[in-house]
Amino acid sequence: MTDIPRSPARFFGEYVPAHFARLGSALSERSSPGAIAFQIGDESWSLRLQAGSVVVETGIATDTLLRMTLSTSDFEPVIVAGAERLDEQAGLERQLVAGRALTIDVERARMLRETGGSVLLRLASGAAEHRVLVSIGSTTPNPDAPDCELECALADLWGIQTGAVNPFQLLLDGKIRIKGNAELALAVGAALG
């Protein structure tokens, strides 16, 4: 599937399952130790691996490891544009952040659940700022009071995802700024990287 849907319902209902199906045997009958959830405006979807195939359900699963919350207006510039850009620059297995998070092992999943908390990503793109709140485990999303805030350029985030950019170098260069509990940013980065 080369045309990436602009609507969240089609993106999660059609594109994500088709993308994972392209991975084929790379998932080798794996099952995820929990779900990754996306809340876009008032709608939500939970993704999990089950015997090597992705299962997408509406709503937030009770065993959610990570929950990404973003506005409807941020969906296309962050999620869709990211999928398009990564489709061109990354190997199939690195194209969807959820894919990496769904393949973490049981021990890292346990550590995530025990960590809890939330990280607000403030992603600059030209004059615009896009916001993605990543809640860990059963933490209730509260964009007004995150435990940690991470600011960077959206292009740098995509560079990290493709492996073209070293996040520690960006931090040293001042291109990533972290406020609050930096350990949470590291925990989310470990789950997604």
Domain boundaries, the chain: 8-192
Q: What is the pLDDT along the chain (193 residues), one digit of tens a residue?
A: 458 999 999 999 999 888 877 766 666 777 889 999 999 999 999 999 888 788 999 999 999 999 999 999 999 999 998 888 766 544 544 545 666 777 788 888 888 888 889 999 999 999 999 999 999 988 888 989 999 999 999 999 888 877 788 888 998 999 999 999 988 888 777 666 5
- What does pTM read for this prediction? 0.88
Q: Which helix (H) or strand (E) holds 152?
A: strand 148-153
CA–CA dist 21, 13 (Å, integer):
13
Does the domain spanning 8-192 belong to CATH 1.10.1330.10? no
Is 36 in contact with 61 (CB distance < 8 Å)? no
Strands 148-153 and 117-125: parallel
Q: Which helix (H) or strand (E) holds 114?
A: helix 106-115
